[in-house]
Structure 1
Amino acid sequence: MATYVLVHGGGHGGWCYRQVARILRAAGHEVHAPTMTGLGERSHLMGARIDLDLHIQDIGAVLHYEDLREVILVGHSYGGMVVTGVADRMAERVGRLVYLDAATPRDGQSLRDIAGPIIESARPFGEVVDGVELVLLPAPGAGAFYGVTDPDVVAWMDERLTAHPWKCFEQPLKLGNEDALWAIPQYHVVCTSTLTTRDPRLIAEARAAGRLWDIDTGHDLMLTEPRAVADALLEIAAS
């Protein structure tokens, strides 16, 4: 039995993994899909102290308090920043690191550094609430921004997407245990359309090692292609 911790991206929550988690559990695996502070069902906790470091602490606390080891740690989109930070701080608990169409940061990089044009394009449409700059404000049909085309899924997302603190996207990731971090086997499950935007060396190495899956779908691939994503995660557990 494998243990998965599925980390969501910006504006989302653990809810976005519902179908993937159901498939993995049906195959006999343990699955955790936590929601980070200020988002999803924890959106009532929004506040000025929410940043990348706090979200790393959120997920690290799940590994600690659930006493999870040899975890397959999966991060989607912004979640790639978070899982990299968690693996750096808790390498002894992480067995595999999976980037699900995610940011793949290095020391000192922020999501703004990695995905600047996309992130910056969202900023003018944000707002400041109680002193917190928020972006990715939910609006009818916002699922289309994440590459979701099924109107039923978009409507379902409309009821669940939440705003995200800008501070999370501009805070640099600080790594302190890189030897242990980069010794963890890394896997990449990406959208075909984003392959050309990624580090060619990283993609080539992943492909040569049999650690690359590309799925021809939108950015929220866990919602648009849950079976394909789950199958990739099952293959990673078996590798």
Structure 2
Amino acid sequence: MATFVLVHGGGHGGWCWGRLAPLLRAAGHDVHTPTLTGLGDRAHLVRPGIDLDHHISDILAVLEFEGLSDVILVGHSYGGMVITGVADRAPGRIRHLVYLDAASPADGQSLTDIAPALMEFARSTIREVDGAELVLWPVPEMGRLYGVTDPDDLEWMQNRLTPHPLETFVQPLLLINEAAMRKIPRTDVVCISELSAIEGAKEGRSDGAQRVWEIETGHDLMITEPEAVAEMLLKVAAL
């Protein structure tokens, strides 16, 4: 049995793994799908000061309080920023890193550095609520950004998206244990459809990855192709 921790991307929550997680559990694996502070079912906790470090701490707390080790840590989109930070802070708990069409930062990079086109769009959506700058407000055209085109999928997703704290996107990731983190085996799953929200992150995405697998679908691959993604993750679990 493998232990998976699945970390969602911007504007999403643990809900986005609702089609993928059952497939991994049916294969006998332990699966955790935490929601980052200020998003999804934790949107009521949004406030000024929620940054990338805060989200890294969210996942570190899951590892600590659930007593998890030998973890296959999976990040989607912005979640790639988070899992890189988690692996840097707790490399001894991580067995494998999987980047699902995700940002892969170097030391000192923010999502703004990696995906400037996405960030230009995000900044165009800024609204301030109680002192917190929020972006990616859920509007109908967000389906195109996330690569979801099926009407039923769009409706299911649209009702669950929440705005995202801007500070998490603009804070640089500072690595403190990079040498150990870079030794962790890594697999990248890259969406090759034109429907990708993080096109600017594809350059250099395979740096350090032992495997780079491609999938013909849009950016929210866990929603549009859960069976194919599960098949890839089960291959990682079998390594």
TM-score, normalising length from structure 1? 0.94
1:148 is matched with 148
2-structure distance, mates of 1:116, 1:107: 17
Structure 2 counterpart SS, 1:228: helix
Aligned mate of 1:203, from 203, 206, 209: 206
Instruction: Tell me whether 1:168 sits opposite 2:172 in the alignment.
Output: no
Structure 2 counterpart SS, 1:203: coil
2:191 is matched with 191
Alignment of 1:125-136 (within 5 A): 125-136=125-136
How far residue 196 of structure 1 moved from its aligned partner, in angstroms, is 8.9
1:106 is matched with 106
Structure 2 counterpart SS, 1:189: strand
2-structure distance, mates of 1:197, 1:163: 21
> What residue identity is the alignment partner of 1:214?
E
2-structure distance, mates of 1:205, 1:176: 18
Instruction: Tell me whether 1:227 sits opposite 2:230 in the alignment.
Output: no
> What residue identity is the alignment partner of 1:53?
D
- Answer whether contact 2:186 2:208 (CA < 8 A) is retained: no
Runs of 4+ in 1 over 4 A off after TM superposition: 194-197
2-structure distance, mates of 1:168, 1:19: 26
User: Deviation string for 1:118-176 (max 9, x for gaps)?
Assistant: 11122112211111111000123522220000100100111100000111100000100
> What residue identity is the alignment partner of 1:199?
E
> What residue identity is the alignment partner of 1:192?
I
**What is the root-mean-square deviation in Å for CA atoms of aligned residues?**
1.5
How far residue 199 of structure 1 moved from its aligned partner, in angstroms, is 3.4
Change (3 A) 1:103 1:119: same
Aligned pair count reads 235
List runs of 5+ in structure 1 lacking aligned partners.
Answer: none
2-structure distance, mates of 1:156, 1:196: 27
Identity across the alignment (%)? 60
- Answer whether contact 2:115 2:200 (CA < 8 A) is retained: no
TM-score, normalising length from structure 2? 0.94
> What residue identity is the alignment partner of 1:20?
L
2:75 is matched with 75
Structure 1 counterpart SS, 2:104: coil
1-structure distance, mates of 2:202, 2:138: 27
Change (3 A) 1:205 1:179: closer
Task: Give 1 or 2: higher helix fraction.
Answer: 1
2:48 is matched with 48
> What residue identity is the alignment partner of 2:33?
A
Change (3 A) 1:99 1:133: same
1:14 is matched with 14
> What residue identity is the alignment partner of 1:32?
H
